[in-house]
Chains A and B, each alone.
Chain A
């Protein structure tokens, strides 16, 4: 439905963004924390309503059904969980959020034509070349004009898939550690840092390949799939060496990661609310991670990579 025009849509998103800022502010102080959380929830509901009322959408019934399924899965889990198991539930929620961001960016990447800066012939080009600016249309294969903006959007999309998949897989491992499905001790193996660095390098290489691929007017879906899979391996290797007591800090870090992916997907989708909300979470999550590490008297580097160093210095 297109009940709201661009102005009302932007205003609705602005109010939602303000709600999120007030929510974070409220959550920082005991007296206002609960109200802050409710303000955040109100902002999220408003944002979803605005999205429905401002976009031409197909499959509305299916989408509503999917929201109902998500609510039916999320609310009972949040209601029934024991106090001691809340951190791992938050980790799981963070993981599925990262997965959702990766899926959104992956879908948008493979529909390259929808990226900002693809297929938009600038007024300057039309002015210079007149009708001939559209000449590629007459060819047998249509290659849309691609501007620099498109490459930036593709980079943001590839970033979202990479970090979103890292956040998803990493969060699942933190969940398994806290739930004691697997050992809570740091897991290291010979050559661990090399394997981690190697898989990260492969993931970055695939991300670069995707950005280059935009030139052809269509991104290969298999590249995006490969990027997601390798990134999930990176996420697992990232969290394995972290000990059980330090896991909450890693959850906070992955939470900040997911925030950044949401911000990047906001850039890909040209959606200011996602950009602002994601950036807020990314920035506040980074600060929070440092505060949590400081409260435990540890540095972030010693938490993430300490297991390797101890091994190197080993007894």
Chain B
């Protein structure tokens, strides 16, 4: 894909990223950070492609390491976010307490 198309996609994604989180409530700061953290675990896609196309042993070892680390980031990230939100639900009646814990 040519550079200008990629630049266009990049700039538009910046605006979408700014826009979707601009009205987040204070209690959700930590879960939102955790969820965004899990989303960048999608680097797993890159790790899989690079590892699957490598020709050297060093490349294979480092690539597999990248796959392991990216999986930890992605899977662990979504699971821990879900747990955070689960606890939020239980503490819904006490927003002050959950805000304290959220920090």
Contact = CB atoms under 8 A, between A and B. Distances in A.
Given A73-B72, A97-B73, A285-B36, A24 B82 contact: no
A234 interface: no
Contacts of A303: none
B46 A269 contact: yes
Interface string B35-73: 111111111111111111110000110111111111111
Contacts of A162: none
Contacts of B84: 83, 86
A51 B45 contact: yes
Residue in B45, B68, B73, B78 with the greatest tally of chain A CB atoms within 10 Å: B45
A125 interface: no
A279 interface: yes
Given A86-B30, A277-B39, A279-B17, A272 B80 contact: no
A291 B29 contact: yes
Give the interface size bracket for A toward B: 35 or more
Given A37-B81, A63-B48, A97-B43, A288 B32 contact: yes
Interface string A267-308: 101111111111111111111100110010000000000000
Contact of A21 (B16, B27, B52): B16
Given A27-B28, A74-B75, A99-B69, A276 B9 contact: yes
Interface of A: 16, 20-21, 23-25, 27-30, 33-34, 36-38, 40-41, 43-44, 47-48, 50-52, 55-60, 62-63, 66-67, 69-71, 73-75, 77-79, 81, 83-84, 86-87, 89-90, 93-94, 96-97, 99-101, 103-104, 106-108, 110-111, 114, 149, 152, 248, 251-252, 255, 258-259, 261-263, 265-267, 269-288, 291-292, 295
